Chain A
């Protein structure tokens, strides 16, 4: 399998605070890779560094053979890298459909109706609510909308930042079901999660972050079975 994203030895600082300490990992075509870890482990910081909002002092982020270190954040989307930000962040005053159309912003011109249809096929719930103002959607629907919006830019890699945050267990299950479906449809996904069990059960491979360092990595099944992970994240 071809490696599409390669993060090599990145070090990120918030002022004097060393938040990411030499993190390296890879994502190959068609995989779900998950970064798990507790609060403050550096998961979101890593994602923000990949999408260009933060810069690493060392190392490199290579996406499809191109070094993203010099690419400004707003150009990263047109390179085929889409981020679903933490806490959904949809346009509350716009309708569902308008939100999706905004997702195709970097593609220019009118959004392709085929893209819209594809998103509506993945998320039939959104099709029912396409005229509804997004602020009146439920939390789970808003998460689906944020994911659908990211898909509108036809990403080669979809990065999800805590998609299960603040959702009821049944909805969390639904969201992970959707992630699995997206994966089956051929989307490559980088998933950042606190919900280690759910994330590892859908992921091909996982990396465990602790205070800015990768402490363990392996396939999803391996990590799920690993006693250390079980103890640290899954409660015994």
Chain B
């Protein structure tokens, strides 16, 4: 306990975040094995993990770096489809399901990071809201590209075609009879083997937390936040602005890709239209409502707001209306001075480092 007291406030908050996630995982796992969760809630566990990773990674771009990204679902999409292709094409080569899942997540993260790099290199050099515009377009472009992508796999390897004219079918890939189609254009990925599990989701969430929290508390993270607070000041003290913006943005994209791969391998069929502008905004809502820059806020907001529309099923048609009202009430409540004051007293005090002199 003494050790805990000696930690800095930020370290205490991080520690509590890890503990909270682990405790939530254990409780939910126990409830699940005890049969206390209904089917629809059990089915939501993996997507919740994915959206937690999405929210935490978007928070890195929006909350920590201070750049608005409106195409986070685009990176998720890149990760999802590249992950599905990796997992499905390695079905014979790698016999273990968990190993294929790990490879798929790594491939998804790598491709999303590459996409992040391509988007980031020209845009992050600019000042202003260009990133929002470009990421918005990026999300739509990725959706359309995957909509006309045909991918199949047989013993000779991967076959790919872009169905731009709209006349190609999966037969035009020229696969041998033993081949299987992985992505069928607008239909998306079908017949995907479900590799994702709640345990894998939990591990990915923990991994994301370790990466993001360590980045934020590092020298690089402080440079990133300095850029957010005042770009000119950061430049004048010798921070390489473009480099640190790229580090934050690419990390954020890679984690979104990893979340996408897990998400893609949780459903037997997945279309590119799932990752549209609405999904990007949905994740942005999680981040804003959870608090910009607050990692644990993103986790709670993602979990609660993902379950909420399902929990509101009883209102049937008025479901999204109630959802909106809940969002507004949460915003009003969290901005209430009395409540803020009360929460402020619960929080650990900002510890002052001892003076040398």
Contact = CB atoms under 8 A, between A and B. Distances in A.
Interface of A: 51, 53, 72-78, 82-85, 89-94, 102-103, 105-106, 108, 113, 117, 131, 146, 149-150, 153
B229 interface: yes
Given A113-B356, A117-B357, A153 B238 contact: yes
A153 B233 CA distance: 13
Most buried by A among B235, B236, B239, B352: B236
Contacts of B232: 85, 89
B237 interface: yes
Contacts, number: 60
A149 B233 CA distance: 10
8 contacts: A53-B235, A74-B238, A75-B238, A91-B226, A102-B226, A105-B223, A106-B237, A131-B352
A76 B238 CA distance: 7
Interface string B41-63: 00000000000000000000000
Interface string B64-89: 00000000000000000000000000
Contacts of B218: none
Nearest to A113: B356
Interface string B199-243: 000000000000000000001001100100110110111111101
A92 B238 contact: no
A67 to B, nearest CB: 19
A83 B232 CA distance: 10
A92 B239 contact: no
Contact of B230 (A77, A84, A89, A103): A89
Given A105-B223, A113-B357, A117-B357, A92 B237 contact: no
Contact of B238 (A85, A106, A113): A106
A211 B237 CA distance: 29
Contacts of B357: 113, 117
Instruction: List 8 tightest A-B contacts by C-beta distance, closest first.
Output: A77-B238, A106-B238, A74-B240, A89-B233, A89-B232, A91-B229, A83-B236, A85-B236
